[in-house]
Amino acid sequence: MTPVLEVDGLSFAYPDGHQALFGVDLHVHAGERVALLGPNGAGKTTLVLHLNGILSAESGDGAGSVSVSGLAMHKKNLLEIRRRVGIVFQDPDDQLFMGSVRADVGFGPANLGIKGAALERRVMDALEQVGMADFADRPPHHLSFGQRRRVAVATVLAMEPEILVLDEPSSNLDPASRRELADILRGLDVTVLMVTHDLPYALELCPRSVVLSAGRVVADGRTYDVLTDDALMSAHRLVLPWGFDPRSVPIDSLPR
Ligand SMILES: Nc1ncnc2c1ncn2[C@@H]1O[C@H](COP(=O)(O)OP(=O)(O)OP(=O)(O)O)[C@@H](O)[C@H]1O
């Protein structure tokens, strides 16, 4: 089966000469949930920004290739790739700018030419998936941070992406909102790539983790195996929260 996301030999240096990625390979199959782990400055955001062409060899000095469902990352495919790869940025306010939740969630599909009842259905389906249907007429800036994060996820789901990329989805959420978002993400029928420093969240949601460190993939395997590899963890500044031991998590509660 062709991977839904294929990154091969991706290298990238920013215009100031700083090389952030060195020959990164990442293949993700449809339906997988993969965590992208790594210390600050590892290159995670740089990699994510290549997945829908925000960064490319033209924005700096790069090599290698990215393709989505077999579509190569070329200018002519960019619009289609951006529809297929939905990125939820860390700050929901980067994605919410309209006067109502309905307008924000409808903005992307309306740009694709969807209108009327079909548009309303897309919007309400996406809001229902994140448990925010009752908030459709509220101004986004009147919502709490956790509610805005869920609406930001809905803006991306409304585009019916093939791959949902989430940058630090659990950051700044209270424990209840963090749990609710985990339940929502677990229930979605979409391929997920999740950048996170929240290692228990990765273990709970993603069967597979890829570790990026100093611009290179240094591990790619079962999240449980990554988090219990003490030498790997300390070599790449990955630290479990105090009191959290993955070995004490019942194996049959881990995602498959
Ligand atoms: N616009 C830029 N110009 C030059 N260097 C940059 C730029 N953006 C990022 N970098 C550098 O590229 C490297 C990778 O940064 P990146 O933001 O991809 O890391 P990250 O893994 O997402 O880190 P974090 O966990 O802190 O968000 C870092 O050394 C960073 O300083």
Rounded distance from Cα 214 to ligand 1 centre (Å): 10
Ligand 1 lined by 38 (C-beta under 6 Å): yes
C-alpha torsion angle, residues 32, 20, 37, 228 (rounded to 10): 120
Q: Across the chain, what does the average pLDDT equal? A: 94
When pLDDT is cut at 50, 70 and 90, the band that residue 38 belongs to is: very high
Rounded distance from Cα 213 to ligand 1 centre (Å): 11
Structure tokens at 242: 């105090």
- The CATH number that applies at residue 220 is 3.40.50.300
The sheet that has 216-222: what strands, in order across it? Answer: 85-88, 163-167, 191-195, 33-37, 208-213, 216-222
Give the integer Cα–Cα distance in Å for 136 and 240.
38
User: Percent of the chain beyond pLDDT 70?
Assistant: 100
Q: Give residue 234's identity as a one-letter amino acid code.
A: S
User: For atom 18 of ligand 1, which residue has the closest CA?
Assistant: 43
When pLDDT is cut at 50, 70 and 90, the band that residue 57 belongs to is: confident
Ligand 1 lined by 169 (C-beta under 6 Å): no
Into how many domains does the chain fold?
1
Q: Is the separation of the CB atoms in 68 and 215 below 8 Å? A: no
Rounded distance from Cα 17 to ligand 1 centre (Å): 12
Whether 79 is in a domain gets the answer yes
Among 181, 195, 103, residue whose Cα is nearest residue 144: 181
Q: Tell me what pLDDT residue 1 has.
A: 72
Q: What's the 3-state SS for 9-46?
A: EEEEECCCCCEEEEEEEEEECCCCEEEEECCCCCCHHH
Whether 203 is in a domain gets the answer yes
Q: E strands, 118-215, where?
A: 163-167, 191-195, 208-213
Ligand 1 lined by 43 (C-beta under 6 Å): yes
Whether 22 is in a domain gets the answer yes
Ligand 1 lined by 18 (C-beta under 6 Å): yes
Cα 224 to its chain centre, rounded Å, is: 20
Compute the average pLDDT of residues 217-223.
Answer: 98
Residue 150 Cα distances to 12, 153, 235, angstroms:
32, 5, 34
User: For atom 4 of ligand 1, which residue has the closest CA?
Assistant: 14
Over 90: is that where the pLDDT of 256 sits?
no
For the stretch 74-99, pLDDT in tens is 889 999 999 999 999 999 999 899 99
Give the integer Cα–Cα distance in Å for 24 and 18.
16
Q: Tell me what pLDDT residue 234 has.
A: 96
Boundaries of domain holding 226: 5-87+162-249
Whether 115 is in a domain gets the answer no
pTM tops 0.90, yes or no: yes
Q: Is the separation of the CB atoms in 136 and 86 below 8 Å? A: no
Helix (H) or strand (E) holding 85: strand 85-88
Whether 152 is in a domain gets the answer no
Ligand 1 lined by 41 (C-beta under 6 Å): yes
When pLDDT is cut at 50, 70 and 90, the band that residue 252 belongs to is: confident
For the stretch 158-206, pLDDT in tens is 999 999 999 999 999 999 999 999 999 999 999 999 999 999 999 999 9
Whether 142 is in a domain gets the answer no
Ligand 1 lined by 40 (C-beta under 6 Å): yes
Give the integer Cα–Cα distance in Å for 113 and 186.
30
Whether 71 is in a domain gets the answer yes
Ligand 1 lined by 186 (C-beta under 6 Å): no
Cα 189 to its chain centre, rounded Å, is: 14
Q: Which of 10, 12, 14 has most ligand 1 atoms within 8 Å of its beta carbon, as the pocket-test mutant?
A: 14
